[in-house]
Amino acid sequence: MDLARIVDTSATVAATRSRKAKVAALADLLRECADDEVGLVVRYASGMLRQRRTGLGWRGLARLPRPADTSTLTAQDADDVFERLSALQGPGSQRARADETAQLFARATADEQTWLRGLVTGELRQGALDALVQEAVAAATDLPLAAVRRAAMLSGSTPAAAEAAVSGGEGALAAIGLTVGRPVSPMLASSAPTVTDGVVKAAGSAGGPVALDTKLDGIRIQVHRTGDEVSVATRSLDDITARLPEVVDYVRSLAVSSVVLDGEALALGEDGRPRPFQDTASRTAQATGVAVTPFFFDVLHVDGEDLLDRPWSDRIAVLDRLVDAEHRVPRLTTADAAEAERFAASAVAAGHEGVVIKNPAAPYEAGRRGAAWVKVKPVFTVDLVVLAVEWGSGRRTGLLSNLHLGAVDPRGGFVMLGKTFKGMTDEMLAWQTERFLELETHRSDHVVHVQPVQVVEIAIDGLQRSTRYPGGIALRFARVVRYRDDKTAEQADTGGERQGALRPTALLSRRAGTVHP
Ligand SMILES: Nc1ncnc2c1ncn2[C@@H]1O[C@H](COP(=O)(O)OP(=O)(O)OP(=O)(O)O)[C@@H](O)[C@H]1O
């Protein structure tokens, strides 16, 4: 497949607002692929490299050779270069990387250069793109979208689902089940403004009791075990087995031969209350530091049996049998809103984030964010992307301080919603100065513009209409809660639902919470 063909499709997808037209363009591209290139083309169409690391960043791409006049590159040519780059290490590798990169870019036309740079820096990646590509795979292969989606979630990979669809049709898609040892996209929660609303939403039209789980503010962990082999994956499916030996030891001690558990790892203080989130979060980067305790709230597989399609209540019965109460998330099942409010208040008083309210009849919907799980938190927080940072003054001279914050723009890119320099600890200031200088793209005056990849969680008192920012809304009293390294920019919150019409309520309704301790 010619690279230019993919670059063209990318441009068409970016240029149209019509979802139908985007899917049609992607499906046309996939129809033109040879079977053995589908995986790579799907990756590139989704803005993803096949290699986890290439060692190339924004800086390495700052100066490019003169573009070629005619396009000759294939997708496979590009992938071959990235494969060689990913294998480079040791002395001389920096030089070799620069040479390989220069040669690749010299063979690319101007449009291809721009596209390749976006691919390498992750700028082409958009969460929504993955869903579009799944639709395109279904359209190109004439297979049900639900079957493609399910396979993508269970394999944790849209390219893998596309390859199966092309090579073996619906049978091959259905054969992608849960494989112990291979992480699946975790089930996600929608949100509600109050516990009472959350109870109604999770119960659905049938009404009846719901389960309230304490919402722990730790590291989402999905733990797979076969025999003595244990692996731990994060929410974004990164392998952190080596970082969490205490979680590995605990799951290895369970009386099962194979199991897949879903939960949170949390660092507790001597008083049994959760330690500050930063303490827990530091363990995603290192195996030392404060100890974390695993708390499980779901089980997806046990001893050869997949439990995904079984109702939550059945799965929890299995969990209660397998895992002792000290390693389960505290929970209450009730149909009474007042009782639910009291439980949520006590969870918050115990130092937790809120509750996740669950429908007891619901299956485990990998990768889905629906009404079966509803989170309710006491403060509004939004996950935004840092677009630029201003140099500080006074006590903060020499440090990057005031953050320019953007939400994901449904039309592509980001839309700025406000700025903040509040809520940062000295440690955060030092860290962010280093981090944002690494991500710098250019400067204007006292503002350092950065690659839009760093997600930050911001607490706000609300949103207000404003003419100051292009989206027409602005954050009220924004302050930094923490940096979110477990989220990519495309997983940040959206500034609006459709066609650029920024709807503050859409942003808020997914985030609001009013549990009163
Ligand atoms: N008992 C629980 N049941 C389900 N999820 C829980 C539970 N306790 C904590 N969580 C965490 O809550 C997360 C969802 O809420 P939150 O909005 O805080 O997280 P997020 O990462 O910002 O958003 P999301 O994962 O929904 O995009 C889950 O991904 C999970 O990691």
Distance 235 CA to ligand 1 centre (A): 9
Distance 479 CA to ligand 1 centre (A): 20
User: What's at 15, amino acid-wise?
Assistant: A
DSSP states along 116-149: HHHHHHTTT--HHHHHHHHHHHHHHHT--HHHHH
ipTM of the prediction? 0.95
Determine the residue of 216, 355, 482, 507 to mutate for testing ligand 1's pocket, defined as the one with the most ligand atoms within 8 A of the Cβ atom.
Answer: 216
Distance 189 CA to ligand 1 centre (A): 7
Distance separating the N- and C-terminal Cα atoms of the chain:
59
> 276 φ, ψ to 5°?
-55, 145
Q: Which residue has the tokens 């964010």?
A: 369
Taking CA atoms only, the protein residue closest to ligand 1 atom 31 is 220
Over its C-alpha atoms, the chain yields an Rg (Å, rounded) of: 24
Alpha helices in 359-451 (DSSP H): 426-438
Q: Is the CB of 265 under 6 A from ligand 1?
A: no
Give pLDDT, residue 103: 95
Give pLDDT, residue 284: 86
The Cα–Cα gap between 407 and 506 comes to: 12
Nearest CA to 55 out of 91, 106, 93, 92 is that of 93
Cβ neighbours of 423 (radius 10 Å): 15
Q: Is the CB of 510 under 6 A from ligand 1?
A: no
Give pLDDT, residue 84: 95
Residues composing the chain: 517
Taking CA atoms only, the protein residue closest to ligand 1 atom 6 is 215
The Cα–Cα gap between 247 and 264 comes to: 10
Angle 3-15/38-45 helices, nearest 10 degrees? 40
Q: H-helix or E-strand containing 214?
A: strand 210-215
Question: Which ranges of the chain have pLDDT less than 70?
Answer: 126-128, 461-462, 495-517
Give pLDDT, residue 316: 98
Nearest CA to 382 out of 309, 442, 446, 462 is that of 462
* 215 is annotated as an active-site residue: yes
Q: Is the CB of 375 under 6 A from ligand 1?
A: yes
Let me know: does 352 contact 379? Beta carbons within 8 Å: no
Nearest CA to 360 out of 313, 411, 414 is that of 313
Taking CA atoms only, the protein residue closest to ligand 1 atom 7 is 215
Residue from 201, 215, 377, 487 carrying the catalytic annotation? 215
Nearest CA to 500 out of 419, 413, 418, 380 is that of 413
Q: Is the CB of 380 under 6 A from ligand 1?
A: no
Whole-number Cα distances in Å, 406 to 299, 390, 424, 448, 454: 36, 15, 18, 15, 11
Distance 414 CA to ligand 1 centre (A): 23
Nearest CA to 491 out of 136, 176, 186, 134 is that of 186
The Cα–Cα gap between 73 and 54 comes to: 19
Q: What is the SS3 assignment for 8-47?
A: HHHHHHHHCCCHHHHHHHHHHHHHCCCHHHHHHHHHHHCC
Q: Is the CB of 264 under 6 A from ligand 1?
A: yes
Q: Is the CB of 215 under 6 A from ligand 1?
A: yes
Let me know: does 391 contact 399? Beta carbons within 8 Å: yes
Token pair for 404: 């320019």
Distance 298 CA to ligand 1 centre (A): 13
Give pLDDT, residue 54: 86
DSSP-derived letter for residue 397 is: B
Parallel/antiparallel/unpaired status of strands 369-376 and 188-191: parallel
